[in-house]
Structure 1
Amino acid sequence: MNMPTLENERVRLSPLSLDNYHHLITIAQEDKLIYYSPSDITTSEKLRNYVEVALEGIQNKTVMPFIIYDKVKQQYAGSSRFGLINWKNKVLHIGWTWIGHEFQGTGLNKHMKDVMLSYAFETLEFEKVEFRIDERNQKSRKAVEKLGASLEGILIKDTLMNDGFRRSTCCYGILKDEWPAIKTSIFKTV
């Protein structure tokens, strides 16, 4: 599977690999960076394992992982990916997103989602993009809602977290038919 590089004037999403993940080690170790995720990236070994799992997904054509570069700050900022890619039904998830604390609230995430959603709907011509978020993660839920995603339902206690807690997952979606209006209204200033 060919991995694209996605970019606009603010952000560049390049394929995440074992050759570039080291740029994220310091960010990955920030306190409570992925508190609401079942993944653990708090050491360089755990981050490498996280990347290796993502790379296996490329081989299976179910994942496209990216390293995020903030062009304004001229620094690597984090990671995101397309996952659970269903080529037959033309549905994929955007998630596994984490950016360093200094990049949060700067508009970087909106720019990332703009290039990712554009690629999913306009290049891949997928019918639906989904987001899955821990019910407790109000910050991420509000961010996805600002993108125009609709809450479709909540999966009750469906994901086991590292500390043994069973989280409930909010399922959001954007349909291809909704994308032109969302792009015009939400992303016109991007």
Structure 2
Amino acid sequence: MTAPTLENSRVKLSLLDLSNYKHLETIAQQKDLIYYSPSDISTSEKLRDYVQLAVDGYYHKIVIPFIVFDKATQTYAGSTRFGLINWKNKLLHIGWTWIGHEFQGTGLNVNMKFLMLQYAFESLEFEKVEFRIDDRNNKSRRAVEKLGATLEGILRRDVPMKDGYRRNTCCYGILKEEWPGIKAELLKIIG
């Protein structure tokens, strides 16, 4: 499996690995950056472990992790990935996304997600893309809803968090046949 480089005038997504993750160390230590995630990236060692897990998934062909480069500011902004890739059923998840606070609300995320959705549906020819979000994370839920994803259900108390809380997970999806209409709407947003 070869990792794609996904790029437009605003953002460049390239393979995240142990050779480039250090660009994200300062951002990863921002307070409450991934509050709603069961992962921990708060130290250099924990960030390295997080990336190593993603790299392992890449070699097993179930994950494609990306480092996010914001072209507007010419800086690295965070990370995202395709995960739980099911090649047989043509289904994958987009998630594990975190960008620094200074990049949030700037249009960077919608550009990232557009490129990822376009690749999933048009290059991989997958049937469905899913998003899983903590039900308390209203900001991320609104962002995914603005993409055109449909709330399909809520998994109750399914993910243990770092503090012992068991979160409810909102399951959103976009189907292949929905993509053309969603793409047209997103192109109006990103230009």
Asked if these proteins are the same fold (TM beyond 0.5), I'd say yes
Secondary structure at the counterpart of residue 84 of structure 1: strand
Q: CA deviation at 1:171?
A: 0.1
Q: Are residue 139 (structure 1) and residue 139 (structure 2) matched?
A: yes
Q: Are residue 125 (structure 1) and residue 137 (structure 2) matched?
A: no
Secondary structure at the counterpart of residue 186 of structure 1: helix
Q: 1:54 maps to which residue?
A: 54
For structure 1, list consecutive stretches of 5 or more residues without a partner in the other structure. none
Q: 1:18 maps to which residue?
A: 18
Give the AA of the match of 2:49: N
Residues 36 and 137, structure 2, Cα contact 8 Å, conserved in 1: yes
Q: CA deviation at 1:9?
A: 0.3
Q: 1:103 maps to which residue?
A: 103
For structure 2, list consecutive stretches of 5 or more residues without a partner in the other structure. none
Q: CA deviation at 1:188?
A: 2.6
Secondary structure at the counterpart of residue 110 of structure 2: helix
Q: CA deviation at 1:186?
A: 2.5
Q: CA deviation at 1:47?
A: 0.1
What is the number of equivalent residue pairs in this alignment? 190
Secondary structure at the counterpart of residue 42 of structure 2: coil
Q: 1:28 maps to which residue?
A: 28
Q: CA deviation at 1:185?
A: 1.5
Q: CA deviation at 1:173?
A: 0.2
CA distance in 2, matches of 1:123, 1:173: 18
Q: 1:81 maps to which residue?
A: 81
Superposition TM-score, scaled by structure 1 size: 0.99
CA distance in 1, matches of 2:2, 2:140: 29
Q: 2:154 maps to which residue?
A: 154
CA-to-partner distance for each residue in 1:105-134, whole Å, 9 max, x for gaps?
Answer: 000000000100000000000000000000
Secondary structure at the counterpart of residue 187 of structure 1: helix
Instruction: State the 4+ residue runs in structure 1 displaced beyond 6 angstroms.
Output: none
Q: 1:171 maps to which residue?
A: 171
- State the Cα RMSD in Å: 0.5
Q: CA deviation at 1:189?
A: 3.3
CA distance in 1, matches of 2:127, 2:187: 19
Secondary structure at the counterpart of residue 115 of structure 2: helix
